[in-house]
């Protein structure tokens, strides 16, 4: 699976997760956050976004390759991903967290 195909799938599932409750407003399964369908769509979109973030940060390396060839840039990327996840979980501010994390990573890339 290419990165762009994964990005398109993540975008489609995230859009579907946001649009389905509007399009099918009367369907109880899409309105109840405790329903199986609602949780499945929510976890699916989160998993795809997480996979996209990992692929964009580390390329096609699996965990064994990543640990074997660990450098300072990978440590920074992992730290920013972990810190970003904690900030988003605590504050709910996704866009500002992504922009700040991307800026820090870009500035660190300029410094090396």
pLDDT band, very low/low/confident/very high, at 66 (cuts 50, 70, 90):
confident
Please check the confidence at residue 6 and state whether its pLDDT lies above 80: no
Q: What is the mean pLDDT of residues 11-31?
A: 71
CA distance between the termini of the chain: 31
Q: List all residues 6 or more positions away from 76 whose beta carbon is below 8 Å from its beta carbon.
A: 105, 108
Instruction: List b or e across 50-83, with b for residues whose CB sees 16 or more CB atoms inside 10 angstroms.
Output: ebbbbbebbeeeeeeebeeeeeeebebbeebbee
- Of 22-26, 33-37, 76-80, 81-85, least confident by mean pLDDT is 22-26
pTM for this one? 0.55
- Domain map (residue ranges) of the chain: 1-58, 61-112
Q: Quick: pLDDT tens for 79-106.
A: 888 898 888 888 878 778 888 888 888 8
Q: What is the pLDDT of residue 91?
A: 87
Give the tokens for residue 110.
Answer: 């300029």
Mean pLDDT of the chain: 79
Task: Report the greatest alpha carbon distance in the chain.
Answer: 54
């Amino acid at each position: 699976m290419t990165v762009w195909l994964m990005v398109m799938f993540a975008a489609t599932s995230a859009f579907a997760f946001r649009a389905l409750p509007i399009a099918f407003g009367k369907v109880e399964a899409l309105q109840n956050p405790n329903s199986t369908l609602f949780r499945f769509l929510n976890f699916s979109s989160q998993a795809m976004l997480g996979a996209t973030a990992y692929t964009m940060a580390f390329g096609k390396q699996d965990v064994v390759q990543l640990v074997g060839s660990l450098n300072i840039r990978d440590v920074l990327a992992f730290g920013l991903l972990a810190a970003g996840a904690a900030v988003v979980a605590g504050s709910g501010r996704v866009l500002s967290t992504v922009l700040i994390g991307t800026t820090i990573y870009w500035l660190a890339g300029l410094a090396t």
